[in-house]
Chains A and B, each alone.
Chain A
Amino acid sequence: MSAEGAGASLQSGEAAASHIVRQPGHAGHAVEAQGLKRAFGRRMAVNGVDLRIHAGDCMAIFGPNGAGKTTLLRLLGGLLKPTAGSAVVGGVRLPAGDEARGAVGLIAHATMLYGALSARENVEFAARMHGVRNYRDAAAAALDKMRILNRASAPVRALSRGMQQRVAIARAIVHAPAVILLDEPFTGLDDAGASALTMLLTTLKDGGAALVLVTHNLAEGLALATHVSVMREGRFARCDERSAIDATRYQNDYRELLSHDA
């Protein structure tokens, strides 16, 4: 496996505009994007992103606020239509039919939960919307994985922010998606929740799911990732294989990059 730009130092956006992770010997990619662009008015939020992620890989994407990370995830999740370029997620070209969205699990800033429904009802609703046959068992298993099964009957609005986040994660994985898109998933989680999430993501990754993790938390990102990248001004400014970098040096370089942007 190699990554374009591997080992390169942190640099400004134009220098290393693409991020292509290749896994020799594997024909298909869980996620593949080419020249992906998305504009909001005149502003290019995502400006020509190339991306390939294999099943079982985890790409962590770091970057300052407004770099286009969340927009990229929403594009890959089928929630936004690209202005230009193409993406294939879970073997289906986007924008695509309804079936394509079944391959994706999305964890975003907001919990995407209904406060008046219980944790169990929220997760069961998501399972049924994804056509999970044994939705009750699947929901219970997902809640159990996030160590929130004991509060499954509580209305979501009565749960703390961290517990809501656990339910949101259970909601996103209940249909065993092949691709999981995570936008700041550690937000609001306490140590136990963060630990449960790290274990869960590791298990999912080992089970063949492809993860795209957007986070400001470098330590969490580096702990999970097989590939790491930095996004600035809608492009990948740097991309590396996790095994090719030193975590401490990477964190120092990243902080220096952010200080230039500030």
Chain B
Amino acid sequence: MTPNALSGAWLIARKDLTIELRTRTAFLSALLFALLAIVIFYFSWDPTAVPASDLAPGVLWVIFTFSGLLGLHRSFGVEQQDRAIDGLLSAPVAREAIYLGKALANLVFVVGIQIVAIPAVALFYNVAVIPVAPALVAVALLAAVGLVAIGTLFSSMAVNTRLAELLLPMLSLPFFVPVVVPAAQATAKLLNGRPMAEVAVWLRLLGAFDIVFVAVCMLAFPFTIEE
């Protein structure tokens, strides 16, 4: 009995996370980038000119976007060494399961960065995140799903090119905008203590983008890997 799409996806995600746990190259690079960015932004910040609650959302989403790209690039990079991708493609699982598995592993990667970066930003900029923690987690998760959905697709497309490291951000960043803008807006409203109704508008928009991006990217994925 061949594995169904979900169990196939789970196997692939677990395999990717095991490899990342053993090598830690992408996660540590992304984490280092995130912490360095926080420090650089902190020292370039004039607290008398810009309130922390206005700057912190921008810092957070710049960090998530660019550190996420580091993990997304590695996602299909591990499959290129020794053509492991051929082993995956010759297995009797749906192509969509490969996409889902990769996306799931990437989601864990991005969430891992968020778990470290959000408290670090709260600490550096002295913004109160605990009172808005549940809503902030919802924003971070919804945005992470969108970023990962897009990035995983473009990672599979870019990996076979000679300029993969350049191509992935060039392809992904324009498509990240519809996710990052509502996420940054929702985060800003949360950190500025605006009513939840104002945040909910952006959350709904994020949710809608997630559904569209996940569906479209999953359907498009088989065409990016079939030769």
Contact = CB atoms under 8 A, between A and B. Distances in A.
Contacts of A120: none
B227 A101 contact: no
Contacts of A125: 11, 15
Interface residues of B, number: 26
B84 A130 contact: no
A98 B94 contact: yes
Contacts, number: 85
A104 interface: yes
A155 B23 CA distance: 12
A201 interface: no
A115 B3 contact: no
Contact of B81 (A101, A104, A115): A115
B24 to A, nearest CB: 10
Contacts of B22: 116-117, 155
Contacts of A106: 86-87, 90
Interface of A: 77-81, 98-102, 104, 106, 108-117, 121, 125-126, 128-131, 133, 155, 171
B18 interface: yes
Which 6 A-B pairs rank lowest in CB-CB distance, beginning with the nearest? A102-B92, A110-B83, A112-B87, A129-B91, A131-B2, A116-B22
Contacts of A111: 82-83
B8 interface: yes
A98 to B, nearest CB: 5
Interface in B16-69: 18-19, 22-23
Which one of A108, A114, A155 has the greatest number of beta carbons of chain B within 10 Å?
A114
Interface string B192-216: 0000000000000000000000000
B87 A171 contact: yes
Given A80-B227, A112-B83, A112-B87, A117 B94 contact: no
Contacts of B90: 77-79, 101, 104, 106
Contact of A117 (B1, B15, B92): B15
Nearest to B20: A116
Contacts of A133: 1
Interface in B70-100: 78, 81-84, 86-94
B2 A79 contact: no
